[in-house]
């Protein structure tokens, strides 16, 4: 074998330039291949992160809001990347809805969470992203499917946030897959329209701690609010709040309500559809309010409403930005479900909300049983 001596500095420099050029060509070729409109490479992504102590409660359970935030981050990345594959206005995708989300297994400190997102359907002006969350114990190698979610986004122009752009179509495996996606699109569109009636419903402020009702297990006793000033770190490059940031705040408030009601360790069990009615801009003050609506033997349903108001432009007034129902369960020290104290109803409005919550509970329970039978 022939061995050559060290290259001169000039020769070495030429080699470095050639290697850099070849590497750049490879990167550009891979980026172009993955960025083709409708390509599957350009419509998938996976994020991974170790869960740290600041992600969890004092019992070591990772907050549901942390998982929701990671889900939205993955969906936002894959959606924005896909919608910028065509020439024209650059855009970012705004989250408009999260379908009902089940937290199948709790996630703990030290586990690695893998969040994979894939675009599953595109309409003219919106796209659906399917997300799976897998938690891995890297000491034992055990993995578990912790969460699944479906999110809907719309692309907003960077030049004009109120301008909704067209979405590049994806390629479907077959006509059946496209038809199923279209049915999901129509269903969520109808449900979103149905929530508009609640947009202007006023929610009373939580009672003053010094004047709070002494009787436990009432709606007023556990109702809680959080006030947050939207800063740059909460926002997209276009100065609007990330959906994941809002969902994390909502989960925190719902968790406080649940903990006040049962005074035990609590975890997020599921979230009914989260509807994003209006965008929230940097500089707004958001008020996140949670109140119990229904309590079953083992679970608590909490309505969470997000209102926003500009800190500097008082003329715009306060408006309803986001709404959702969170379901929590109470756990003992071994993470086994505990019986939840019954909710004491006071007044016609609380009774109406409780009846509506019970109807949702029965409907969701029937759906879970049907899904279980179908899997078997």
Asked if residue 272 lies in contact with residue 100, where contact means CB atoms within 8 angstroms, the answer is yes
* Spacing of C-alpha 170 from chain mean position: 23
Alpha carbon distance 193, 273 (integer Å): 13
Alpha carbon distance 306, 328 (integer Å): 19
Question: Is 160 designated active site?
Answer: no
Alpha carbon distance 110, 138 (integer Å): 8
Which residue among the candidates 57, 89, 239, 335 is catalytic per the annotation? 57
Task: Of 97, 117, 244, give the one whose Cα is nearest residue 185.
Answer: 97
CA angle 344, 349, 352 (to 5 degrees): 85
Helices (H), the chain: 9-34, 64-83, 175-194, 219-222, 243-262, 348-375
Which residue among the candidates 55, 238, 251, 272 is catalytic per the annotation? 251
Strands 265-271 and 274-276: unpaired
**Residue 156 CA: distances (Å) to CA of 22, 84, 137, 153:** 36, 11, 38, 9
Burial 217-249 (b: 16+ CB within 10 A, else e): bbbbbbbbbbebebeeebbbebebbbbbbbbbb
Question: Is 57 designated active site?
Answer: yes
Alpha carbon distance 350, 8 (integer Å): 83
Three-state secondary structure call for residue 85: coil
Residues annotated as catalytic are 57, 251
């Amino acid at each position: 074998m022939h061995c050559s001596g060290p290259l001169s500095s000039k020769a070495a420099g030429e080699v470095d330039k050639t290697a850099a050029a070849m590497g750049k060509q490879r990167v550009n070729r891979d980026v172009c291949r993955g960025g083709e409109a409708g390509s599957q490479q350009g419509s998938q992504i996976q994020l991974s992160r170790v869960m740290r102590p600041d992600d969890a409660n004092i019992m070591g359970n990772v907050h549901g809001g942390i998982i929701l935030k990671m889900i939205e981050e993955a969906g936002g990345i894959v959606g924005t990347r896909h919608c910028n594959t065509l020439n024209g206005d650059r855009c970012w995708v705004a989250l408009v809805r999260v379908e009902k989300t089940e937290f199948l297994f709790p996630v703990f400190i030290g586990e690695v969470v893998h969040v994979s997102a894939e675009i599953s359907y595109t309409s003219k002006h919106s796209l659906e992203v399917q997300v799976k969350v897998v938690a891995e114990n890297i000491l034992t190698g055990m993995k578990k499917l912790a969460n699944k979610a479906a999110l809907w986004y719309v692309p907003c122009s960077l030049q004009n946030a109120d301008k909704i752009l067209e979405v590049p179509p994806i390629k479907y495996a077959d006509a059946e897959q496209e038809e199923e996606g279209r049915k999901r699109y129509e269903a969520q569109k109808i449900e979103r329209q149905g929530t508009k009636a609640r947009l202007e419903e006023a929610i009373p402020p939580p009672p003053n701690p010094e004047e709070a009702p002494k009787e436990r297990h009432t709606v007023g006793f556990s109702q809680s609010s959080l006030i947050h000033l939207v800063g740059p770190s909460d926002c997209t490059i276009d100065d609007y709040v990330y959906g994941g940031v809002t969902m994390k705040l909502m989960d925190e408030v719902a968790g406080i309500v649940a903990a006040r009601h049962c005074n035990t360790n609590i975890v997020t069990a599921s979230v009914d559809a989260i509807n994003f009615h209006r965008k929230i801009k940097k500089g707004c003050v958001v008020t996140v309010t949670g109140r119990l609506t229904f309590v079953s033997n083992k679970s608590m349903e909490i309505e969470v409403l997000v209102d926003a108001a500009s800190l500097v432009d008082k003329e715009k007034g306060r408006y309803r930005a986001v709404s959702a129902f969170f379901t929590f369960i109470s756990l003992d020290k071994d993470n086994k479900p505990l019986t939840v104290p019954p909710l004491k109803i006071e007044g016609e409005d609380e009774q109406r909300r409780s009846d509506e919550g019970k109807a949702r509970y029965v409907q969701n329970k029937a759906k879970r049983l049907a899904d279980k039978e179908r899997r078997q």
